[in-house]
Amino acid sequence: MALMAFGVLATLSVISALGVILHKSPVRSALLLVTNFVGLAGLYLLQNAQVLAVFQILVYAGAIMVLFLFVIMLLNLAGDTSPDPLAGQKWVAWLLGVALVGGIGWGMWSVAGLSLPVSPQGIRATAAEQQGIQQVQVIGFDLFTRYVYPFELTSVLLLVGVIGVMTLTRRIPQGGSANDRS
């Protein structure tokens, strides 16, 4: 049952991920990315990581992709046919992609060999892990104790981004400095 669900969700994720890069229309690509996120959330649910699955939907599908769509609609991008601004980037992307897949595959092979997909220990979390990962308390506690520095650094990174955007988009009125604006 779980294996069947995994098969369906994994197929959905892979096909929609391929669609994201292969589809001509930007809006369709964005929607396929949403489908991909939903598939990933399903995969997290299979691992009993409910909190992670819900955050995947809430943050990525619910907020970030809506902003993507907002920008695509605002610029009214419909099937861009203009020549590629970075000539040859397609082939470089292929090369890097193949290298990435090869690297991941080699890493998995060297760790587990052929036994990875069939061994229950390979894909299932232990009982304690399942117990903990379900609990939002445990995740919160880890975030604010063990991983507090990475966590805070990430928020500082976001803050820097926000301030950068504010600085870049701020309109400076004629004949005065930016501080004059009320």
Give the interface with another protein as residue ranges (CB under 8 A).
27, 31, 34, 50-51, 54-55, 57-58, 61-63, 66-67, 69-70, 73-74, 76, 126-129, 131-138, 140-142, 145-146
Nearest distance from residue 31's CB to another protein, in Å? 8
Instruction: Report the alpha-carbon distance of residue 38 to residue 16 in Å, rounded.
Output: 10
Cβ atoms 151, 144 nearer than 8 A:
yes
Specify the residue, 89 or 154, whose C-beta has the smaller distance to another protein.
Answer: 154
Nearest distance from residue 86's CB to another protein, in Å? 28
Specify the residue, 83 or 150, whose C-beta has the smaller distance to another protein.
Answer: 150
Question: CB neighbours of 154 closer than 8 A, spacing ≥ 6?
Answer: none
Specify the residue, 4 or 74, whose C-beta has the smaller distance to another protein.
Answer: 74
Nearest distance from residue 126's CB to another protein, in Å? 7
Specify the residue, 7 or 140, whose C-beta has the smaller distance to another protein.
Answer: 140
Nearest distance from residue 92's CB to another protein, in Å? 32
Nearest distance from residue 84's CB to another protein, in Å? 25
Specify the residue, 1 or 87, whose C-beta has the smaller distance to another protein.
Answer: 1
Cβ atoms 16, 5 nearer than 8 A:
no
